[in-house]
Amino acid sequence: MSDTVEMEPVEDFRARLRAWLKDTMPVAPPGFGQGHGQESDEEELRQVQRNRDLQRMLFDGGFAGIVIPREYGGQGLTPAHMHVFNEEIVGYEHPNRIQIPTFTPCAAVLLDFGTEEQKKAHIPAMLKGDEIWMQFLSEPSGGSDVASAQTTAVRDGDEWIINGSKIWTTGAWWSDWGLLLARTNWDVPKHRGLSVFILPIHQPGIEINRIEMLNGSKEFCQEYLTDVRVPDSDRVSEVDDGWTVGIRWMFHERSLGHSPYPIRPVGQGRGGLGGNLLGLARRSGRDRDARGRELVGEAYALSRAQQLLGRRIPELIATKTTTDQAAALGKLSGGSTGVRMATITNELAGSAAVAWTDEDEQLGRQGVGFVMRQTACIAGGTTEMARNVISERVLGMPRERAADRDIPFRDVERTAPHKK
């Protein structure tokens, strides 16, 4: 925000927001935010369009991009204002499914490294709901080691020709733009030969295949890129300096639980205080035994601790009390807590989590969540990688040995890239 514009007091902002929400935003229907990826394709596309419409409502009302600078279409306010927004939005319908990764990490990376032209072209479009973004980061042969990217970008005049494959891209089939990490130099160690690009997803040369998960969801996609041409004006930061971008990119991804950019209603997160675990226990009859009540208490305590940690970590990073790599603490805690929450809800649901009637569908969903619980330790970077970051970059412990650290990437033994 410009120094000439007076910052709106937080409580004045709360009062204005509260009145606007009451007059404008629809109340969230029962089951809002549940079942993503398990709808029919038609219903999923309808929900995506609904999210675009809701995002436009926020933009037109002056409540999109609370912390994003005004020159890019945001409100130029503070994380404290965003926290108030997340408190007040509880109970209202909001564009929940397009917040991540459009705003974190994609918009955050553009704000950090994009050119003025890139930011002015895309950030307002994101805030209006006109552009939904995905991150083209993971590769079939790379696992959690994103620096070992084998997707290539070869210079051809004022363009780059990109070939390769990306995977685990949530919702790529209905999204608009991608933030892509590619290899531009094979003759230097792997971290030094990467560059970052932005590109429209639906164009000649990009084939999208959907992946069916254990729970029937097909929201994850794999993309095959064949001779895709990207103008050099859509390169983010310098050639071969993509790992500088990548480090910050990983920071934003690990910060998903406490980033100020996306909407994260307080108490409505996965397994959060809004999960009504006591209601679940009552439905299954577990509220009448000591073990059931103990599980509910544990879940509420974990949720509260996660909320407080989500506020504390950004405070420590903002005041330079710790390195920004401490965002990995949130990732580690979130992954571990997510697994435990899924285990608790499954135990509270009892036998109905395995076999249920139509009346017990809510209990049955807990069993599906239990089967998929480990995704909390994988999505957004594995908890194993988070432990490495914490030990080496936060606690200052000796770095793990790596045989490929100082070797040109073309000379490193590696798994062959996955082909169609």
Segments forming the whole domain that contains residue 48 = 10-97+124-130
| Structural domain includes residue 215 | no
What does the pLDDT profile of the chain (420 residues) look like in tens digits? 444 468 999 999 999 999 999 999 999 987 777 656 667 899 999 999 999 999 999 999 999 999 999 999 999 999 999 999 999 999 999 999 999 999 999 999 999 999 999 999 999 999 999 999 999 999 998 767 888 999 999 999 999 999 999 999 999 999 999 999 999 999 999 999 999 999 999 999 999 999 988 778 888 999 999 999 999 999 999 999 999 999 999 888 887 767 889 998 876 444 344 347 888 888 888 888 999 999 999 998 998 888 888 788 888 887 888 888 888 888 888 889 989 998 998 898 888 888 777 777 777 778 878 888 888 887 777 888 889 889 988 999 998 887 777 889 998 877 665 555
Contact 196, 235 (CB under 8 A): yes
Residue 373: inside a domain: yes
Q: What is the pLDDT of residue 1?
A: 43
- What's the structural domain count of the chain? 2
What single-letter amino acid sits at 229?
R
In this prediction, residue 193 carries a pLDDT of 96
User: What pLDDT does residue 317 have?
Assistant: 83
- How many residues in total does the chain contain? 420
Query: In this structure, is residue 339 part of a structural domain?
Result: yes
User: Is 141 part of a structural domain of the chain?
Assistant: no
Residue-level pLDDT at 227: 98
Give the other-Cβ count within 10 Å of 347's Cβ.
Answer: 17
Does 196 fall in a domain? no
- Give residue 52's pLDDT: 98
Question: What pLDDT, on a 0 to 100 scale, did the predictor assign at position 281?
Answer: 86
Beta-strand runs (E) in 150-204: 152-156, 159-170, 177-183, 194-200
Distance CA 192, CA 173 (A): 31
What is the model's pTM?
Answer: 0.85
> For residues 209 and 218, what is the distance between their CA atoms, to the nearest angstrom?
10
Any domain includes 17:
yes
Contact (CB, 8 A) for 136 and 167: no
Q: Tell which of 105, 130, 155 closes a domain.
A: 130
Contact (Cβ atoms closer than 8 angstroms) between residue 181 and residue 147: no
In a domain, 361, yes or no: yes
Between CA 193 and CA 412 the distance in angstroms is 13
Q: Residue 1 and residue 319: Cα distance in Å, rounded?
A: 20
CATH number at residue 17: 1.10.540
What's the per-residue H, E or C state across 54-68? HHHHHHHHCCCCCCC
Residue 83 located in a structural domain: yes
